[in-house]
Structures are given as structure tokens and as C-alpha cells.
Amino acid sequence: MTLLKIENLHINYGHVHALKGVSLEVGEGEIVTLLGANGAGKTTTLRAISGLLKAVKGDVLFNGDSLKTVKAHDRVELGISQSPEGRRVFSTLTVHENLSLGAYSRRKKDWNVVEKTRRFVYDLFPRLEERKNQTAGTLSGGEQQMLAIGRALMAKPKLMLLDEPSLGLAPLLVQNIFKTIREINKQGVTILLVEQNARAALKVASRGYVLETGNCVLSGSADDLLADEAVRKAYLGEK
């Protein structure tokens, strides 16, 4: 079953035509990755799905329904959450408070489920529980990334948008983050992953799309993209 479908999406930043007719699909239970150089339109695509950017043309469908008139905060309630590029944690709030804000749309109606989700996040990232009363600004980069992912999970999403989760992290932490992405997916969360580390992304994903200057130029299974000569040269550092 198709959970997310993007049809001929066009996005402008002022006079810049950032997305030029992007179409893609994400099936329920999949991990799908978006690859491309800086400026290709990957983050723009995620922001359009979240409702933070308005389409000039085209549509985003979630569970078969158009999101054209659905505001960003209402999309969270429908089951779409995002862990943004650069983490963007609330630095003056504690780990616990950051997680509580992630559950803002849910906490009044199902507090017990919120606490169960928090328990899942702490089991996934034991370091966060150790630092739950520490302000987020004092965490390491890796810990802040854990917190950003944990905060997105607190909304109990059906679809999770992950934007550059390994950016700036040491290799060992990168391995842990991708292991965690698999674990989140096993719990039934569909994932759309934007990631500069193309090799790691394609190893965790089932399918992928390649964006170039706002266009989708290639798509296929992760294995096919890993074997594609153009992808290997452009994104895997092979000659």
C-alpha cells in the first residue's frame, strides 16, 4: 500500500525554481532514500511534505488523501513527523522537555501512550535517559541527533522524515544511527531518508530516488542504485 505519493511537485524559493516536477512514492513499511548533491532539492521535498513550503503546482498525498489544504501542525496529527537537518533541538530546555514538546499534539488525549513512547525512545537511546534532566544545548552532536530523532518519534508517526541524520557525526556514531533507523522501521514506522552518506543510506533503504537541480533523474531498488555506474561515480566516490 502506498502511504506517501508526490505528484509533479513544483516549489519556488522566490524566483528560484527549487523543485521542477518531482514525483515519488513511499510504500507503507518501507525505508526510501533521497540522494543528491547540496541544492538538489532533497530538504525542499521534505519541507513540502511537512507543509512548511507551499507547492506552486502538484500535490502531496498521504494515505490517498491530498494534503494541499492541510496545515503543517495538522499533518503531524495525521502521522507525519520530521527530524530536521542540523538537529534544531531546543537548547535551553532539558532532554525530557524536548521530548514532551515532540508529543505536543498527543499528550492531552493519550498520556499513557505518550509515556510508553517516551520509554521506547529511552530504550532506543539509553544515553538520553541518562541525560534527561540535562539541557539539550550541553549535549554532544551525537546526543543531539538522538534527541532530534527521539523528539520526532514522540508524535508516534506513521511516516518519519529524516534529514541528514549522520551529518557531522563520527563513523562509530553513524553506524549506531543507521542501526537505530532499522530498529525504528521494524516497529512499523515508514521512513523517508535524506542522507549525504549515499552508501549507508542505500544499505538501509529498500529503494531510492536521485535528485539533481530539482528534478528526479533516477530511481530504483537500493541494490540497483548501488550497482549503477553513474551513482557510484557521483555519490559513492568511485572512479
Burial class (CB in 10 A: 0-12, 13-18, 19+), 1: exposed
The span from the CA of 24 to the CA of 15, in Å, is: 24
Q: What's the total number of domains in the chain?
A: 1
- Of 77, 85, 78, 80, residue with least CA distance to 44: 85
* Average pLDDT of the chain, as a whole number: 92
146 in a domain, yes or no? no
Q: What are phi and psi of 216, to 5 degrees?
A: -85, 110
Q: What is the pLDDT of residues 135-159, one digit of tens each?
A: 999 998 889 999 999 999 999 999 9
**127 band by pLDDT with thresholds 50, 70 and 90:** very high
Q: Which residue has the higher pLDDT, 46 or 174?
A: 46
89 in a domain, yes or no? no
The DSSP 8-state label assigned to residue 104 in this structure reads T
231 in a domain, yes or no? yes
- Per-residue pLDDT at 238 exceeds 70: no
88 in a domain, yes or no? no
pLDDT of amino acid 84: 87
pLDDT of amino acid 108: 58
- Per-residue pLDDT at 109 exceeds 70: no
104 in a domain, yes or no? no
Q: Averaging pLDDT over each range in 109-123, 165-179, 196-210, which range is the top one?
A: 196-210
**9 band by pLDDT with thresholds 50, 70 and 90:** very high
- Per-residue pLDDT at 126 exceeds 90: yes
204 in a domain, yes or no? yes
The upper half-sphere exposure of residue 160, i.e. CA atoms within 13 Å in the direction of its Cβ, equals 29
- Which residue range(s) make up the domain with 9? 1-79+161-170+192-239
- Per-residue pLDDT at 201 exceeds 70: yes
- Per-residue pLDDT at 239 exceeds 60: no
3-state class of 238 per DSSP? coil
210 in a domain, yes or no? yes
150 in a domain, yes or no? no
Residue 217's CATH number: 3.40.50.300
CB 167 within 8 A of CB 86: yes
